Structure 1
Amino acid sequence: MEEQSNIQIPRAKLGSQGLEVSKLGFGCMGLTGIYNTPVSEEAGISIIKDAFSKGITFFDTADIYGPHTNEILLGKALKQLPREKIELATKCGIVGYDKTQMIVKGTPEYVRSCCEASLKRLGVDYIDLYYLHRVDKSIPIEETMAEFKKLVEEGKVKYIGLSEASPDTIRRAHAVHPITALQMEWSLWTRDIEEDVIPLCRELCIGIVPYSPLGRGFFGGKAIVESIPANSFLVSHPRFVGDNLEKNKILYTRLLDLAVKHHCTPAQLALAWVLHQGHDVVPIPGTTKIKNLDDNIGSLKVKLAKEDLEQISDTVCLEDVAGARVYGIMEPHSWKFANTPAKEDST
């Protein structure tokens, strides 16, 4: 677990259109809140630059993070880095949150306005990978993708991605313009995409970008060896509260015991498990701490055989996971579509 900073981070290809990124990406969301108090601008820029200096070139943000402040922070960091050596990903499609609802919008006009605004906040001429953050089910996906395609043709976007999309939506979107990457929640305790979504992505040559590969920090010890800040959205997350948390702590203990065998930390073992799911898989863990960044990079040194992967999967048995994940593909009832009447919100 030493000398993580000297690890050579390999490259990975996402999709079949030519995008190549660092095998390990960096999710910037947490730098401006959500899981904790936002870090200072100086600290945020510092960790982004440190990640780049250690070989991470794939940085992920979104217009809803902050909102807007995350893109602004990343944009300021980019001014101190060589733009041509960075793969920049951002997203549009989430308008905001209304109590317990996520408000989504995917009209062509909205997509274009979001892209223009993101380019300005980031201070760049183009976005390497532009995702539809959530699918607006009130309009055909073909209409949304047609606008994304125009942005590619105009040079404002290089590659197109989807986030939390169903197999049918992925196939229909891909028919309009090749989808380069699909961003989905994928970790030891969230594997519902493995049956249908992953095989489809491989059929269509779509790269897979797992977010929350450490279970929103759980397998890094959050809520176990590190307390959850009072302002974190995790204080009400189903998997981090009450009896659910107590049951899930057993999973962490099991993984901790197994990590000893592999001479690594539980976080490294959990992340290595995701990294070993395929050459087309590029997880994007985020952190606000350099020591956690180094720990994440150190996961690349953990080598796992097929039987190791199976043992890890069995150790964190899905049947034993307590609590649902939130804001995912399985909860469309919690979404509200900004361009439709309230009575039509449910799908």
Structure 2
Amino acid sequence: MASIAGTVLETAVMMFKDKFLEFEMRRPDMGVVGAFDKYGKALIDEATIKKNRASARRPQYIAVLNRQSTPVRDTRSTTITPVGSTSAKVGLNWKTYGFDVGVTEAINADNQITAAADLANQLEQGVRDVLLAMDADGTTFLETGKWSALPASSLMSISGGAYQTTQKELWINLPAVMRKLMLNGPYHMLSNVEAIANLTNVSTYGAANQQNLQKLINNYEFGYSGNINPGASREAYYAVPIGSLARVDWVEYDCRKPEGRGSYDGGVYYDTITLEFTALGGETISLTFGFLYIAQPADKSAILPGLERAYTEGWSLFLDSAYVKSYSSEAGKSPVVKILADAV
């Protein structure tokens, strides 16, 4: 609140226009969290997961069947000895994200910035920062869960659990390298922001050029994140078959009751709110938070005199989130493949 106290009408400060704040409100890339969200419903039964997790203390698992080796027999027999299937449980790792917003209408009463505009701005800033934290955690999830025991390839070398190639050969060799892993596109290609330069160069050579390189990048969906660090290389990619990533959210019991709990008039209220944020790459990401609303008197006299008991409203927004990737029972193998590309 203190940050807007100096803009009261007596100072004749003009209200900002949206254009004036374009730089201040610039949006980051969030390609990683966007990739987890886009096709998640094809990978997991989100509704059942939410239903079964009645409380935060209840462990949550996904039942799966393991890959296995079947003995190939070379002699017919009347003895039947099926191997049978083996199953496993995949646990979900939940993390809590939240932020607080609030307004004191008396502070905004003689201010060009209304309480509604003030609150809307706080919500936008809050959901942006939650998504930035989620994008960072999603990048860590990809890195720790990548295919670490990569098989040798005649097309790319291997270093630190990643294939290494050149920017020039990346798009020519990648389909063959992924096929050797028995993976098939289309793929998410999640990379550091600087990798846009290489993509721009390749896409420039389309039809009517001496070489048509555009077709080399037709089987990919690209996403960028400032959280992906190429290290000593120019570009770092996580190549993932589309539909292999998901993210599921959960809110606590009191908030998810259909009618909420309490009331705004009563000064205490639990409910949910869905906030959307559009990232720089065009991904529109939606988050449903559970919130606790409290209205109570608060001493705001440090901001404006006479507000020792000002009516103050606050909202505390929280959700739990878990990242998921396609299951692998084989140690070191994963649908997430890391590739590093250098200039030469």
Instruction: Output the TM-score relative to the length of structure 2.
Output: 0.25
Instruction: Kindly name which structure, 1 or 2, has the bigger radius of gyration based on alpha carbons.
Output: 2
TM-score after normalising by structure 1: 0.25
